[in-house]
Amino acid sequence: MTSRSAKRRSVLAAAAAVAAVTAAPSAVAHAAGPAGRRRPHRPEDGDLIDFHGWSSYRDWRNGEHAGTRVAYGRCPGLAFAEPAGTTEYHDPHTGRTAEWEYATWTSAPHTPAVPAAELVASWNAVTPEGTWLRVEMRGEYSDGCRTPWYTLGVWTAGDGEDVPRRTSVPGQGDGRSSIWTDTFAVGDTGSGLRLAAYRLRLTLCRAPGSRSVPVVRRLGAMLSDLPARFEVPAAEPGCARGIELDVPRYSQNVHEGRYPEFDGGGEAWCSPTSSQMIIEYWGHRPTPEDLAWVKPEYDDPQVCHAARMTFDYAYEGCGNWPFNAAYAATYHGLESVVTRCASLDDAERLVAAGIPLITSQSFTEDELDGAGYGTAGHLMTVIGFTEDGDVIANDPASEDNAAVRRVYPRRQFENIWLRTRRYNAEGEVRSGTGGVCYLYFPEHPSGAQRRVLRELGIR
């Protein structure tokens, strides 16, 4: 079950995880937030994952502003205030060149809890008609040298003729690090080189003379330096035993062949199908107007819509991690991040608090009993755990909606999700995703939800 998109994600993961090929093994990683907000230290913690976010009034105020302002309210954001200048953007996917007003915000430097080999950013934004944004990062290596400013995404919520196409930017690198679709990766980590600090920059754009105001409500980056490992330590069943969240079930396979301009449904749509399940769990759906473009004979048109609104025109697929998270956050009252969990214990605590998660994994058919397929890259949703601690997943790689709910053996699922190295069906060494997940949660979470998110560095 390897689609064109899954193959591209496999290539991305392999390149982004090149650090793990040469890194020395170390203790099992446990999630850590930024300095001052890390979860309580335990002896076995590797502290190899760092998520840092910007979402508060103080966060936005402390950056460097050029034409931007803090948007006040219960959920502060960064808003376009006035043009800092104009710029031309040539859209490689439409061939159009247009002039845009722009305003920028640059974060203060952030030093992660551990020097890192990888970085994945994510953002939540409102982009009214005729507006878009660019997300960039610049890092400082552990030897004191700097990266160039890398583009992590050109993004807009829509795809009308008045805005550039949503896209990652291929071909970026300085000989020491590269951008692989949505992931910054140090090249030769065997040399000891790491990312020691970084800044993020937002550029908000609108048509000249426009009064539209794009707003970014959340920005974050997950950094990690996980060891090369084919197997991870087992976590005992915990607080989520016997809990199953009522998450809608959608099959990606029923959409096979639909909308080839958005990678053709079926195996290519695991990410947006998973996203749509969790979006609807939180009570959100596209409007009838949103779905008017979908052919009336197609069932579950909201899945088609999610594929269109997550499609990355450079990647030529719907598997861009931050684009999926950004799409989810276009629904009012919903927020999102891309991060890593360090153990199945993290997933259990999320589920116990009522937060399902979307997990990324690769495996051969004999590594996950009950799946009935192998994959070079696949997204599914973790919605609960049995009394014995096995994983209950809504797996979109199913023949129809009724078959989506699966129970997977705990130890098998744990390993295929959290490992950083694996063998493919031909016996070749490939990378694993190391616990990557999307988390979608309410703008105003419950106390229990807030606590577990904070333990993962998300505030």
- Reported as a single tens digit per residue, the pLDDT across 191-215 is 999 999 999 999 999 999 999 999 9
Closest CA to 397 of 434, 421, 433, 368: 368
pLDDT at 426: 94
pLDDT at 236: 96
pLDDT at 27: 30
Tens digits of residue pLDDT in 353-390: 999 999 999 999 999 999 999 999 999 999 999 999 99
**Average confidence (pLDDT) over 254-261:** 97
Tens digits of residue pLDDT in 225-241: 999 999 999 999 999 99
Alpha-carbon distances of 56 from 155, 181, 251, rounded to whole Å: 22, 28, 37
pLDDT at 12: 46
pLDDT at 2: 42
User: Is the pLDDT assigned to residue 26 strictly greater than 80?
Assistant: no
Alpha-carbon distances of 436 from 13, 133, 140, 433, rounded to whole Å: 11, 24, 24, 6
Query: Are the C-beta atoms of 359 and 274 separated by less than 8 Å?
Result: no
pLDDT at 33: 32
pLDDT at 235: 95
User: Is the pLDDT assigned to residue 260 strictly greater than 50?
Assistant: yes
**Average confidence (pLDDT) over 415-427:** 96
Provide the phi-psi class of 405: left if phi over 0, else alpha when psi is between -120 and 50, else beta: beta
**Average confidence (pLDDT) over 102-113:** 96
- For the chain, the average pLDDT equals 91
pLDDT at 11: 42
Alpha-carbon distances of 116 from 159, 176, 216, 224, rounded to whole Å: 34, 13, 26, 5
**Average confidence (pLDDT) over 304-315:** 98
C-alpha neighbours within 13 Å on the C-beta side of residue 264: 8
User: Is the pLDDT assigned to residue 452 strictly greater than 60?
Assistant: yes
**Average confidence (pLDDT) over 131-142:** 98
Q: Where is average pLDDT lowest: 38-42, 58-62, 285-289, 307-311? A: 38-42
User: Is the pLDDT assigned to residue 3 strictly greater than 70?
Assistant: no
pLDDT at 175: 97
**Average confidence (pLDDT) over 433-453:** 97
